[in-house]
Structure 1
Amino acid sequence: MGFSGGCSCGAVRYDIAAASIRAFQCQCRDCQKDSGGGHSSVFVFPRAAFTITGAVREIARASDRGAVKRKGFCPNCGTPIYNKPDQVPDMIGIYVGSLDDASSFTPQAIFYAARGHAWDMLDPEVPKVPE
């Protein structure tokens, strides 16, 4: 199974030659800022299976638990593409909204649910982890 995606303006494209390792939604403040909404939806893949073309700008930010992540986004249109956790260098989190086809995304868990907002309606059947 493979995946492809990119940014809104087309300057950044990527391919992933692997199946996802996990899928989740996160309601931490960091993810709320990344998405501009109530949560981020993320697929996790082996970083070795990820190839990208085009310039990507990265910023380093600490998560709610203090772990450093490198957030990659298109410097032209601002589309969030990925996060690379420093503590897990062989994995990459891909923001589902940047995929060409996100129809296979099914979250296995919702993280930081205690920081979610009542207006951010997520599937009540998905297990929630408060922090």
Structure 2
Amino acid sequence: MGFSGGCSCRAVRYNIDAEPVRGFQCQCRDCQMDSGGGHSSVFVFPRNALTVSGEVREIARTSDRGATKRKGFCPICGVAIYNKPDEKPEFIGIYVGSLDDATTFRPAAIFYAARGYAWDFLDPDVPKLPEWHAS
């Protein structure tokens, strides 16, 4: 099974020739800003399975844990495409909203739940961790 996606203006397109390693939702401040909402939904894939066409602009940010991560987004329409952690170069987090078909997404956990907002209703059956859990 493969995955494809891109931005809303279609200047950036990608394909992933792998199954996801895991899926999660995150309520950290960066993810809130990336999504424009209360959380981001992310599928993690092997980085070498991703091929991208079009220009992706990246910004580097320091996470709350002190790690550097690079957010990739379309420089034309601004849609967030991915998040690359420098400390784990074998993985890439794909923002589920950029997928052409996100029906298979099932989060295994919600990270930084202590920073979530009461109005951001997430599945109560998904385990909530107050901060980050790296496993």
**So what's the TM-score if we normalise by structure 2?**
0.96
Does the Cα contact within 8 Å between 1:23 and 1:42 map onto a contact in 2?
Answer: yes
Alignment of 1:34-113 (within 5 A): 34-113=34-113
Which runs of 5 or more structure 2 residues have no equivalent in the other structure? Answer: none
Matched pairs, number: 131
Does the Cα contact within 8 Å between 1:30 and 1:64 map onto a contact in 2?
Answer: no
Deviation, structure 1 residue 19: 0.1
Distance in structure 2 (CA, Å) of the matches to 1:42 and 1:58: 17
User: Could you say what secondary structure the match of 2:45 adopts?
Assistant: strand
Distance in structure 2 (CA, Å) of the matches to 1:87 and 1:36: 26
Distance in structure 2 (CA, Å) of the matches to 1:104 and 1:9: 24
**So what's the TM-score if we normalise by structure 1?**
0.99
Distance in structure 2 (CA, Å) of the matches to 1:6 and 1:48: 17
Deviation, structure 1 residue 63: 1.2
Q: Which residue pairs with 1:33 in the alignment?
A: 33
Question: Which amino acid in the other structure matches residue 47 of structure 1?
Answer: R
Q: Which residue pairs with 2:7 in the alignment?
A: 7
